[in-house]
Amino acid sequence: MSEQKAKFAELQTAIDKHKEEKGALMPVLQAAQGIFGCVPMDVQEYIAEALDTTLSEVYGVATFYSQFSLQPKGKYVIGVCMGTACYVRGAQKVLDRVEKELNAETGATTKDGQFTIQSTRCLGACGLAPVMMINDEVFGRLTEDEIPGILDKYKI
Amino acid sequence: MEQMIPLTIDGVRVEVPQGTTVLEASRKAGVKIPTLCYLKDINQSGSCRMCVVDTGARAFQAACVLPVTKDMVVRTNTPDLREARRVLLELILSNHNKQCLSCIRSQNCELQKLCKDLGVEDGNDFAGVMNQYEIDDFSPSIVRDNSKCIVCRRCVAACDKVQEVGVIGATGRGFKTSIASPWNLHLSEMACINCGQCITVCPVGALHEKDDTSLVWQYLADPTKHVVVQPAPAVRAALGEEFGLPMGTSVTGKMAAALRRMGFDRVFDTDFAADLTIMEEATELVDRVTNGGVLPMITSCSPGWIKFCEHYYPEFIPNLSSCKSPHEMEGALVKSYYAEKMGLDPKDIVVVSVMPCTAKKYEAQRPELSNGGLPDVDVVITTRELARMIKEAGIEFTMLPDEGFDDLLGESTGAGVIFGATGGVMEAALRTAYTFITGNELEDVNFTAVRGVEGIKEATVKVGDLDVSVAVVSSTSMAAKLLDAVKAGEKNYTFIEVMGCPGGCVNGGGQPIVDASVRAKVDIRTERAKALYNEDQAKTLRKSHLNPEIKKIYDEFLGRPNSHKAHKLLHTKYTVRPKYEK
């Protein structure tokens, strides 16, 4: 079985589990996000057919909640905290620098598929403001000049 | 028995059945609560909050989704409520393209009317960042301009619930919410059936038909073109509304007069072609029944339904009658029979159809609906576009005399007239099929069992020794329901009539737009259909095969129904289309 086929089989298992529930779309989309790392068009069409709903409905829910992404996320997901404390301590400059260094906008993934840039709500580390996370690693008390060095460690 | 709930609205004591909303109850109290996203039977979501009322609860509540409770005291008109509604309007206006002067819905816009009624002046209280959108005008039928959209979701409900097409929805979140197709694809890239029901429910100018009026003016001004026009049956049942006449007024004679004054060289009538459709379709039905053809046979006049079938129920394509829709038949004959008679080169003829329908615009562009590289129909305008042209031309519509249609392709029977209402094609077909099968004339031509606006109607009709089992559905959601039952073997029919819009063409996507407050009180479908049934009743000839022009065209040109020539000019084929366009 190809990798893609195995993923759809896994999705079908999740659909079978939730199909009869009211509001099955949410848990099925969550499962799909977990399995595929995003919910691209073919996955959404598959879900619409399986749950006997419209693609518009699936797409509407998928774009309403920020936990779902339509494009695959990068190997490293960078989250720059835009909470109040981080913001007043210069988070915007940090974010701008990340965008500049990676040549990609917030919300987008770099062309090589390595990085996805996100701005996040409060990460709960206000004492370290401004803060950013790369996958599970936290970087605090950042200055924009530190950004290139940090990113270099993740670049291939 | 239903339990009655007493309550007080603005000091008026009323009793309403349990489960009634405060909005519905308010009508009984003679109170009109302003609404914007509410549309009776279609959209009740409480999302615009315009109908807020004071029940003494902690916050104002939306009356359209608030069920009545015993002894509830409702106030609908206090200074605070009026201010709340004004603020809501200001907030909507802060992200609304306020170019009202050039807006297609100016003076027919529910938002504009509310602003006027509630005393909202310049609408700049919350001026700030506005969303920017591209106009989607790639569809030959429907244009979406989201800069006018107020995200009320009435179009979404019409598309999803009324039609079960569901190619649009709310996308994104918060301020960025917009009504769009998945991945912001153009409507033309979706399995949209072009029915235009979204347009007729839009309270503002966010949705409208693709305007082809300037193209028609251009042809009319071109001396090298011979421009022929044909209005559909349902147009005459609604055009008068655009000129202030009551709903259900038939304006056939004035419409013909107006078209002549606009400068058309010939004013024909699609009703003629409706009679012709019956000749071809009844013959096809008799042939299928007697020679073991695919049954049930399903009518093919409604282009919204046809595209729905091609996308969503392609397994029923063999069941579709091969007959082109009436205006396409008329167009094909204008460019052959009529051209020959008049000694005209078909290349110099322009056929303009006036239709109650936006899907007809798409249909006219189908490559298979042509002959020798020339499309059967060149331009389709809707009832609304015709009304705009009549106004633009300065024609005093209501003062016009009643005139008739031109000879050759203009005469019709009552059977042709009722094509515009759900059940009409079935009734017209039965009147003629009866004669084709039994050789006798039917005494009572009224098949009342197939009339009316119910979603699905069934009847068994005795035709000689045959019991013909028929079904009539309108709206594609009802068609889907019926086809599912046929597919599952639960239902068995010989002949099915499907019209894509609820109530049939009288309620088509190209018809005059009716304000939600009027829709709450009257059934558009019934009122407009009355105009057609009255016309049928008043006609001496009520069976298609008795139309003298029909007899003449078979004698002189086509030979007999379903002849080789008839097949070449009047029949078509269909295409399996994907549900999700790639």
Q: What is the pLDDT of residue A52?
A: 95
- Give the total number of structural domains in chain A: 2
Query: Is A53:A60 a contact under the CB 8 Å cutoff?
Result: no
- Binned at pLDDT 50, 70 and 90, residue B448 comes out as confident
Candidate from A63-72, B173-182, B189-198, B401-410 with smallest mean pLDDT: A63-72
Q: Which residue has the tokens 């290139």?
A: A148
Please state whether the peptide bond connecting residue A130 to the residue before it is cis, i.e. omega within 30 degrees of 0: yes
Would you call A56 and B183 a contact, using CB atoms and an 8 Å cutoff? no
Count of CB atoms situated within 10 Å of the CB of B81: 17
A38 assigned to some structural domain: yes
Identify whether residues A104 and A126 lie together within a single domain: yes
- In terms of residue numbers, what domain contains A60? 3-64
Query: Is A134:A150 a contact under the CB 8 Å cutoff?
Result: yes
Count of CB atoms situated within 10 Å of the CB of B276: 30
What number is the average pLDDT over the span B210-215? 98
Measured in angstroms, the CA of A64 and the nearest CA of chain B are apart by: 5
Measure CA of the first residue to CA of the last residue in chain A; give whole Å: 31
Measured in angstroms, the CA of A74 and the nearest CA of chain B are apart by: 20
Identify whether residues A45 and A95 lie together within a single domain: no
Residues of A near B (Cβ–Cβ under 8 Å) read: 41, 44-45, 53-60, 63-66, 70
Residue B487's H or E segment, with its range, is helix B476-487
Looking at A15, A35, A64, which one is the last position of a domain?
Answer: A64
- Binned at pLDDT 50, 70 and 90, residue A108 comes out as confident
pLDDT greater than 90 at residue B122: no
Identify whether residues A59 and A89 lie together within a single domain: no
Instruction: Supply the CATH number for residue A139's domain.
Output: 3.40.30.10
A109 assigned to some structural domain: yes
Residues B323 and B45: their CA atoms lie apart, in Å, by 41
CATH of domain B214-570: 3.40.50.1780
Closest partner residue to B182 (CB to CB) among A56, A65, A66 is A56
A101 assigned to some structural domain: yes
Candidate from A14-28, B121-135, B213-227, B314-328 with smallest mean pLDDT: B121-135
What number is the average pLDDT over the span A96-108? 93
Identify whether residues A90 and A142 lie together within a single domain: yes
Q: What is the pLDDT of residue B123?
A: 80
Looking at A13, A33, A64, which one is the last position of a domain?
Answer: A64
A71 assigned to some structural domain: no
Q: Which residues is B379 bridged to in the sheet? A: B352
Q: What would the 3-class secondary structure string for chain A be?
A: CCHHHHHHHHHHHHHHHHCCCCCCHHHHHHHHHHHHCCCCHHHHHHHHHHCCCCHHHHHHHHHHCCCCCCCCCCCEEEEEECCHHHHHCCHHHHHHHHHHHHCCCCCCECCCCCEEEEEECCCCCHHHCCCEEECCEEECCCCHHHHHHHHHHHCC
Measured in angstroms, the CA of A34 and the nearest CA of chain B are apart by: 21
What number is the average pLDDT over the span B439-460? 88
Identify whether residues A82 and A143 lie together within a single domain: yes
Could you tell me how many CB contacts below 8 A there are between chain A and chain B?
41
Question: Most A CBs within 10 Å: which of B178, B579, B581, as the mutation test of the A interface?
Answer: B579
A70 assigned to some structural domain: no
Identify whether residues A83 and A145 lie together within a single domain: yes
- The ipTM of this complex is 0.90
A85 assigned to some structural domain: yes
Q: Which residue has the tokens 């029940």?
A: B55
Would you call A54 and B160 a contact, using CB atoms and an 8 Å cutoff? yes
Q: What is the pLDDT of residue B253?
A: 98
Count of CB atoms situated within 10 Å of the CB of B439: 8
Torsion of CA A79, A84, A86, A87, to 10 degrees: 90
**DSSP codes joined into one string, B61-120:** EEGGG-B--TTEEEB---HHHHHHHHHHHHHHHTTS---GGG-TTTTS-HHHHHHHHTT-
Residue B518 to residues B16, B522, B550, Cα–Cα distance (Å): 21, 6, 40
Residues B324 and B328: their CA atoms lie apart, in Å, by 6
Identify whether residues A55 and A104 lie together within a single domain: no
Domain boundaries, chain B: 4-77, 214-570
Q: Which residues of chain B neighbour A54 with C-beta distances below 8 Å?
A: 160, 166-167, 169
Considering only alpha carbons, which residue of chain A is nearest residue B181? A56
Domain B4-77 = CATH 3.10.20.740: yes
- Binned at pLDDT 50, 70 and 90, residue A1 comes out as low
Count of CB atoms situated within 10 Å of the CB of A145: 9
What number is the average pLDDT over the span A102-110? 91
Q: How far is CA B572 from the centre of its chain?
A: 23
Looking at A16, A43, A64, which one is the last position of a domain?
Answer: A64
Would you call B170 and A60 a contact, using CB atoms and an 8 Å cutoff? yes
Residues B206 and B38: their CA atoms lie apart, in Å, by 17
Rg of chain A (C-alpha set): 18
Q: In what order do the strands lie in the sheet with A115-120?
A: A115-120, A76-81, A132-134, A137-139
Identify whether residues A81 and A136 lie together within a single domain: yes
Query: Is B304:B164 a contact under the CB 8 Å cutoff?
Result: no
Q: Which two tokens stand for residue B183?
A: 């991945």
Residue B102 to residues B105, B124, B131, B243, B482, Cα–Cα distance (Å): 9, 19, 20, 20, 43
Identify whether residues A104 and A147 lie together within a single domain: yes
Identify whether residues A52 and A106 lie together within a single domain: no
Q: Which residue has the tokens 């009722």?
A: B418
A88 assigned to some structural domain: yes
Residues B559 and B511: their CA atoms lie apart, in Å, by 36
Query: Which residues of B carry out catalysis?
Result: 281, 284, 301, 321, 360, 363, 368, 505
Identify whether residues A82 and A137 lie together within a single domain: yes
- HSE at residue B291, side-chain half, CA atoms within 13 A, is 7
Q: Which residue has the tokens 């609820």?
A: B502
Q: What is the pLDDT of residue B582?
A: 60
Residues B257 and B243: their CA atoms lie apart, in Å, by 15
Count of CB atoms situated within 10 Å of the CB of B499: 32
The per-residue pLDDT for range A122-141, each reduced to its tens digit, is 999 999 999 999 998 999 99
**DSSP codes joined into one string, B424-446:** HHHHHHHHHHHHHHHSS--S---
The per-residue pLDDT for range B261-271, each reduced to its tens digit, is 999 999 999 99
Q: What is the pLDDT of residue B462?
A: 87
Query: Is B22:B69 a contact under the CB 8 Å cutoff?
Result: no
- HSE at residue B42, side-chain half, CA atoms within 13 A, is 27
> Taking all residues of chain B, what is their mean pLDDT, rounded to a whole number?
96
The per-residue pLDDT for range A50-98, each reduced to its tens digit, is 999 999 999 999 999 988 988 888 889 999 999 999 999 999 999 999 9
